[in-house]
Amino acid sequence: MDPEVLRLALAAVGGSVIGLLLAMFGGGGSVLATPLLIYVVGVADPHVAIGTAAAAVAANALIGLVAQAKAGVVKWPCALVFGAAGLAGSLVGAQVAKQVDGHSLLLWFALAMALIGASMLLPRRSEGDPGVRLDGRLALRLGPLGALVGLAAGFFGIGGGFLIVPGLMAATGMTLTNAAASSLVSVVLFGAATSASYAASGLVDWPLFVALVAGGGLGAVAGAPAARLIGRQGAVARRAFALMVIAVAAYVAWRARQ
């Protein structure tokens, strides 16, 4: 098989797995995109892997946002304030990351993966106010928090949903359902800003981006019924997935130190 065809096929298969995991377990799955591109697809430059993954995450999040918007669960005023504040932070984070040595960047990325996995092991609460409305007090909470989360998302080239969801809940008191849906606004903005910064430096592999997005769409479609089949075992499956993310983080750190 032609090496380029094989490379794209691996990216599409990997993207479908990530899309499946995201549909089944929510935030955290997209962080696997960068290790996938480096260790499975064979992208040599960690910066290219991060830039390409960020673009794919933004595209897949946009697809999810459309669906959530139709369902009417996105708290647009709160989501836009949080996302707008984080947009500048994501650009700064991406610019800083491009100046960091590739191996050092992977070590930091492994740390972020470990934290994401650990956060997924925490119990998820659904309590909250479904009727929350933006006011001046909430805006003052959302702005600084959004900027910090955007900085982290831009530096690591991840969607940042594992930080955005609890951040929105803590700042506004909205429910988990509303926070998960509203977080996609920031994931789209942060991913688009990060990937645009990397693309401006020639650090996005567009054919791989297309393969990842196409595979991710197929995985998301398959993930919806799979999530229903998990049923009562969802918490157990989520913990298993979190442990897998932590294990991959350990592998990334080990490879980066070689």
Residues 192-205 pLDDT 10s? 989 999 999 999 99
Residues 171-181 pLDDT 10s? 888 887 788 88
Q: What percent of the chain has pLDDT over 90?
A: 25
Report the distance separating Cα 72 and Cα 76, nearest Å. 10
Report the distance separating Cα 254 and Cα 80, nearest Å. 38
Determine the pLDDT at residue 217.
81
Query: What are the C-alpha distances in Å from 66 to residues 28, 188, 203, 227?
Result: 20, 11, 28, 20
Q: For residue 126, is pLDDT > 60?
A: no
Mean pLDDT of 69-85: 91
Determine the pLDDT at residue 43.
93
Query: What are the C-alpha distances in Å from 89 to residues 52, 155, 186, 221?
Result: 19, 9, 11, 32
100's torsion region: left (phi>0), alpha (psi -120 to 50) or beta?
beta
Mean pLDDT of 111-134: 74
Mean pLDDT of the chain: 83
Mean pLDDT of 35-57: 91
User: 27-36, 68-77, 121-130, 136-145: lowest mean pLDDT where?
Assistant: 121-130
Determine the pLDDT at residue 212.
92
Contact 81, 139 (CB under 8 A): yes
In a 13 Å sphere around the CA of 217, the CA atoms on its Cβ side amount to: 9
Amino acid at 149: V
Token pair 């991959």 in the structure block, residue: 248
Contacts of 11 (CB under 8 A, 6+ apart): 36, 37, 41, 208, 211, 212, 215
Confidence of residue 162 (pLDDT cuts 50, 70, 90): low
Residues 205-223 pLDDT 10s? 999 999 999 998 887 777 6
